[in-house]
Amino acid sequence: MARPKSTRVDDVTRHVQERLAARALIPGERLPSIRRLSEQLGVSKTTVVEAYDRLAADGIIASRRGSGFYVSGHAPPLSLAEIGPALDRSIDPLWISRQSLEAADTSLKPGCGWLPPSWLPDDELRRALRQIARAPQSSLLEYGRPYGHAGLREQLARRLADYGVPVGPQQVVLTDSGTQAIDLVCRFLLEPGDCVLVDDPGYFNFQALLRAHRVQVVGVPHTPSGPDVAVMAALLEQHRPRLYITNSAFHNPTGAVLSPLVAHRLLKLAEAHDLLIVEDDIFADFEHESSPRLSAFDGLERVIQVGSFSKTLSASVRCGYIATKPEWCERLVDLKLATSFGNSPFSAELLFELLRKGSYRRHLDSLRARLADAMGETLGRLRRLDIQPWLEPRGGIFVWARLPGDLDAAQVSRAALADNLVLAPGNVFSLSQSATGFLRFNVAQCLSPRVFDGLERAMEQVRGHCSQ
């Protein structure tokens, strides 16, 4: 049975409920006036009155004579699933993470975002662990310093300088992960209701994290050379965003690399509109040759760079960083102490041991060659199934590809779960829900023939249902 079309009253009611769920409106706060909301949403005053009356009848808001409408009661517990449009769970931004992390050991995970354990430097990690355990003053027992491990920050500053980012150790703040780094930056810079730009398609956890900060999230179409700067210019005029979060190198999910021309235009727009940029550089070490960095062109004036080693070293060694202007570091450190009382000195010491002895560099040389082979093999197998890459990445771990015909990637992903196959449907990554026919593939997780056998069966199953 077809679902009834929503009315304008339904739309206004849903708009208010979404603002309540996102805590953009809190208990006791006055709602926009009837005239103001009607102008804002482009509906009649009668429509707003009817919507407010409906919400008041449900006890969600209350009318105060001569004063207007106010939010009733207490704020409900935060629910990320309720913020934003109501989505099928298969296209929820957290769906891939939950499926990948909860899957049985026998499951295949071509949709996940990390390397197989067998690709990571297990022996080197164990040797570094033994070295730390023998040290007279072990990081196993103490809190870390506010900025984090001094030696590791020096190592990171040298690595950033190799990418052309002018930074000293005093401009590097260690965190427990790249995600925590972005969370701290958001806590530092954003207020509820602010607007933040993300790529569309873009990394799904950016969406989830920003929803937790109760901000407005707006998507910028992504192209093979970076964000669509013409569309971004219009969005900057319309929404006046505070922040833009992106990957420059091996963009997630598309594998695209930022071009110098787009980087230059993007920074000019950022300067004109007082936009700050968070550059998540988590995939930097997968590159054979360095691609342009916004942080290098900008000199960390309005670009903040974050990163971690969870993709290349170990998901269990939680250590990330923030590189930014010196005057912001002190305030970020205070915020880190207030919310987590520092970061793990054990993880930082372990990473420092690997970086300073050269074992990490040797691991990367081997890893890049292995990924190049996996990329070629995965692209060939996808094409044999008539699945077409959006672009042919020059490295990294991701391929963004379109399914044949009008196949729905969410339906294919649900069917594949019965085969213990975890895929990554495109609309998980798309705010505009415009990637219905796309899947993201992790080439390091695609080497078993079972992946493509299961994918082919899932595609045939969906085709069969559609033809009935």
Average pLDDT, the chain: 89
Do 123 and 455 touch, CB atoms closer than 8 A?
no
Helix or strand run (H / E) with residue 214: none
Check residues 400 and 68 and name the one with the higher pLDDT.
400
C-alpha–C-alpha distance, residues 50 and 9, integer Å: 7
C-alpha–C-alpha distance, residues 234 and 375, integer Å: 36
Angle at 394 between CA 199 and CA 197, to 5 degrees: 10
Q: Give pLDDT, residue 214.
A: 86
* Tens digits of residue pLDDT in 333-347: 999 999 888 888 889
Question: Mean pLDDT over residues 383-400, rounded?
Answer: 96
Q: Is the pLDDT of residue 2 over 50?
A: no
Angle at 217 between CA 211 and CA 218, to 5 degrees: 160
Q: Give pLDDT, residue 452.
A: 97
Question: Mean pLDDT over residues 56-83, rounded?
Answer: 74
Question: Mean pLDDT over residues 164-169, rounded?
Answer: 91
Q: Give pLDDT, residue 196.
A: 96
Q: Give pLDDT, residue 3.
A: 41
Q: Is the pLDDT of residue 307 over 90?
A: yes
What percentage of residues in the chain have a pLDDT greater than 70? Answer: 92
Closest of 376, 347, 375, 351 to residue 363, by C-alpha: 351
Q: Give pLDDT, residue 280.
A: 96
Q: Give pLDDT, residue 87.
A: 42
Question: Mean pLDDT over residues 351-380, rounded?
Answer: 92
Question: Mean pLDDT over residues 411-421, rounded?
Answer: 91
Q: Give pLDDT, residue 85.
A: 44
Q: What are the phi and psi torsion angles at 289 (to 5°)?
A: -125, 140
C-alpha–C-alpha distance, residues 16 and 128, integer Å: 54
pTM above 0.85, yes or no: no
Of 24-38, 56-70, 283-297, 448-462, the range with the highest mean pLDDT is 448-462
Q: Of 54-68, 165-179, 180-194, 238-252, which range is least confident?
A: 54-68
Q: Is the pLDDT of residue 291 over 60?
A: yes
User: In which residue are the tokens 């969870």 written?
Assistant: 310
User: In which residue are the tokens 């190049």 written?
Assistant: 372
Q: Is the pLDDT of residue 184 over 50?
A: yes
C-alpha–C-alpha distance, residues 168 and 149, integer Å: 14
Cα dihedral across residues 320, 322, 326, 331: positive or negative: negative
Pairing of strands 216-223, 226-227: antiparallel
Quote the radius of gyration of the chain (alpha carbons, Å). Answer: 24
Task: Name the token pair of 133.
Answer: 């355990």
User: Which residue blocks in 324-448 are alpha helix, DSSP H?
Assistant: 326-340, 345-356, 359-384, 409-417
What percentage of residues in the chain have a pLDDT greater than 90? Answer: 64
Question: Mean pLDDT over residues 285-292, rounded?
Answer: 89
Q: Is the pLDDT of residue 138 over 50?
A: yes
- Residue 118 CB-density burial (10 A; 0-12 exposed, 13-18 middle, 19+ buried): exposed
Of 62-71, 119-128, 354-363, the range with the highest mean pLDDT is 119-128
Q: Give pLDDT, residue 5.
A: 58
